[in-house]
């Protein structure tokens, strides 16, 4: 039985946490889930640390949707640096699932991308917890989350 933390934001324009929770529950019955919603991506690092230290999570998904402006890119960078720090402080993985608004051409594609990237990273979470061998099998295969895989260079 493993405990998975889900940290998400009210800033995001898509409810990535609900997608993540549904997918995780489908992928494994040996998990429990704790959710923690905060305003924006810069609030995620300490939320993840709390999920590890106060809620006893084994791994956390950090879900966010940075806006299209330069300042949003900056915020996402700061959040990412913080998420890496938390992982090093806690010796546990945080799977960052950020969908940048300008990755998609329109709302429909953004919705599709947010859902798919979240689902594919939920699989990564399960693999890190239970199936490390499976990740190794896909090493160097050019996997991408949300869009089509880039594929290996030597095919």
Burial of 132 (0-12, 13-18, 19+ CB in 10 A): exposed
Residue 95 binds to its own copies (criterion: CB under 8 A):
yes
Please list every residue from 37 through 76 that binds its own copies, using CB under 8 A. 37-39, 42-43, 45-46, 49-50, 53-54, 67, 71, 73-75
User: Smallest distance, Å, CB 34 to its own copies?
Assistant: 11
Q: Does 118 bind its own copies (CB under 8 A)?
A: no
Binding residue (CB under 8 A) for its own copies from 4, 16, 31, 129:
16
Selected from 30, 32, 55, 81, the binder of its own copies by CB under 8 A is 81
Contact residue for its own copies among 31, 124, 126, 146 (CB under 8 A)? 124
Which residue number, 39 or 56, has a Cβ lying nearer to its own copies? 39
CB of 4 to its own copies, least distance (A): 15
**Could you tell me which of 37, 36, 34, 24 has the C-alpha nearest to residue 3?**
34
Q: Least separation, in Å, of the C-beta of 1 and its own copies?
A: 20
Asked whether position 11 contacts its own copies by CB under 8 A, the answer is yes
Binding its own copies (rule: CB under 8 A), the pick from 86, 122, 126, 129 is: 86
């Amino acid at each position: 039985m493993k405990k998975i933390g889900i940290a998400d934001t009210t800033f995001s324009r898509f409810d990535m946490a609900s997608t993540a929770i549904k997918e995780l529950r489908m992928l494994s019955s040996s998990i429990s889930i704790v959710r923690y919603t905060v305003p924006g991506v810069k609030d995620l690092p300490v939320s993840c640390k709390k999920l590890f230290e106060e809620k006893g999570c084994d791994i956390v998904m950090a879900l966010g949707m940075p806006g299209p402006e330069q300042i949003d890119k900056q915020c996402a960078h700061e959040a990412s640096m913080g998420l890496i720090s938390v992982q090093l402080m806690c010796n546990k993985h945080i799977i960052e699932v950020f969908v940048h608004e300008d990755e998609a051409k329109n709302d429909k594609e953004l919705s599709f991308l947010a859902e798919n990237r979240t689902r594919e990273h939920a699989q990564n979470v399960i693999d890190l917890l239970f199936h490390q061998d499976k990740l190794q099998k896909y090493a160097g295969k050019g996997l991408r989350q949300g869009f089509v895989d880039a594929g290996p260079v030597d095919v």
